[in-house]
Amino acid sequence: MALKAVCLLLAASGIVAAAELPRPASAELCGDCHRAIHEGWKRSAHARAMTSRLFQDALKLAESELGVSVRRICLSCHSPMSLRLGDLGLKRKVSWEGVSCDHCHSVESVRKEGANFVAVVNVTDVKSGPSRDAASTAHRTVYSEVHRNSEICAPCHQYRNKLGLDVLTTYSEWLESSAAKQGRQCQDCHMYRVRGDVVDPRIKRVEATQINLHEMPGAHSLAQLNKAVRAWLDVERADDELVVKLRVANRTGAHFVPTGSPLRQLIIELKVNPYEGATRHETLRYRRVVADSSGKEIRREHLVFVRGAKVLSDSRLAPSETRTETFRFPIPRNVKVDVEAALWYYYSPLETLEARKVKFHTVSKFVP
């Protein structure tokens, strides 16, 4: 029996034959029945966690500088099934599927071991999830409370290295935010409910169903960046001086912006273009600066995870924070001016030109 036909045959016959499903199953196989969910997941950073060329280059560089043992640290989140299968050579298809279906839906609980969180994963014919009334002819199902709260994200979005540096702090940032106090979970922003079929209609027809958005938009999503961060310009004249005030707000208030890797930055580029005279430029960077034990700044991500020892500075936007940046330019009162501020998301784990830099928000003002 071809594995890709299992779901259809089971549904048609009504036979429960979960033992025929591989453990773990490929996300592609799960997609035979859960098509809408699978299509959304394929667009997610979770699906591209292994295949991302930027990650692949970073992994190769990490191994060349730190040895193959560092692979286990990286793959624990970028390909958790490869560790479970002992497939560090990445020979199995499921190992290349990043944070895949059978990983997340085999999580039974999350526990803390020392400074870090660990997902308790048990890959069986039982699939766990946030639905109380889920049913399947291909596998058993069980309701899981952990899938409804932020704790399930902690094993990969909160990490303290062996030197005691909290490299990833997204979960703890959320835990201390007003969002957490209000009961808002990570899923409320990143896996909100949308119309869709839990099971493909050709297998089972259910009216007016909703699913969690498995695309899980984050910093890779322009729409999500625009929801999270906005800017406003106020411009005044003071004699022959132009005073520009830029207000920048972290509107979602659930974690710092940017969050995650210390190599991520929110860059603000301000351009003041007078109708007479030279254009002025100012640049601000909101980021964490991490150093090794000697105090030297680290600019490569894999070295942050292994050798990071202290945070030299942290200029990121805190949850719910609105910050005002003030700039002054010597421009005569009778000169017209165009002012523009652009917000960029920037990420370069390699300290090279190979980086992700995306402009996601622009605000401008004409000063007569």
CATH at residue 321: 2.60.40.10
Tell me whether residue 74 is in a domain.
no
For the stretch 166-186, pLDDT in tens is: 999 999 999 999 999 999 999
Q: How much is the pTM?
A: 0.91
Q: What average pLDDT does range 16-35 have in this prediction? A: 81
Residue with tokens 């035979």: 32
Tell me whether residue 289 is in a domain.
yes
**To the nearest whole number, what is the mean pLDDT of the chain?**
91
Residue with tokens 């990071």: 308
Tell me whether residue 246 is in a domain.
yes
Listing DSSP states for 28-57 in one string gives: HHHHHH-HHHHHHHHTSTTTTTTT-HHHHH
Listing DSSP states for 214-269 in one string gives: TT--STT-HHHHHHHEEEEEEEEEETTEEEEEEEEEE-S-SS-BS-SSTTEEEEEE
At residue 119, does pLDDT exceed 80?
yes
At residue 8, does pLDDT exceed 60?
no
Exposed/middle/buried for residue 73 (C-beta within 10 Å: 0-12, 13-18, 19+): middle
Tell me whether residue 140 is in a domain.
no
Number of domains in the chain: 1
Q: How far apart are CA 227 and CA 287, in angstroms?
A: 19
Tokens of 134: 């889920």
Tell me whether residue 324 is in a domain.
yes
Counting residues of the chain whose pLDDT is more than 90, the rounded percentage is 83
For the stretch 216-232, pLDDT in tens is: 999 989 999 999 999 99
Q: Are 238 and 201 in contact (CB under 8 A)?
A: no
The CA-atom distances, in angstroms, between 331 and each of 41, 126, 245, 282 are: 52, 69, 15, 15
Q: How far apart are CA 211 and CA 198, in angstroms?
A: 6
Least confident among 182-196, 208-222, 315-329: 208-222
Tell me whether residue 349 is in a domain.
yes
Q: Is 251 or 138 the better-scoring residue by pLDDT?
A: 251
Tell me whether residue 266 is in a domain.
yes
Q: Which domain range does residue 270 map to?
A: 222-367
Q: How far apart are CA 274 and CA 217, in angstroms?
A: 39
Q: What average pLDDT does range 49-64 have in this prediction? A: 94
> The dihedral of CA 80, 300, 51, 216: what is its sign?
positive
Per-residue confidence (pLDDT) for residue 52, from 0 to 100? 94
What pLDDT band is residue 208 in, cutting at 50, 70 and 90?
A: low
At residue 16, does pLDDT exceed 50?
no
Q: Is 20 or 60 the better-scoring residue by pLDDT?
A: 60
Alpha helices in the chain (DSSP H): 6-13, 27-33, 35-42, 53-66, 70-78, 80-85, 101-104, 154-157, 170-175, 178-181, 186-190, 222-228, 301-307
Per-residue confidence (pLDDT) for residue 194, from 0 to 100? 93
Instruction: Identify the DSSP state of 125.
Output: S
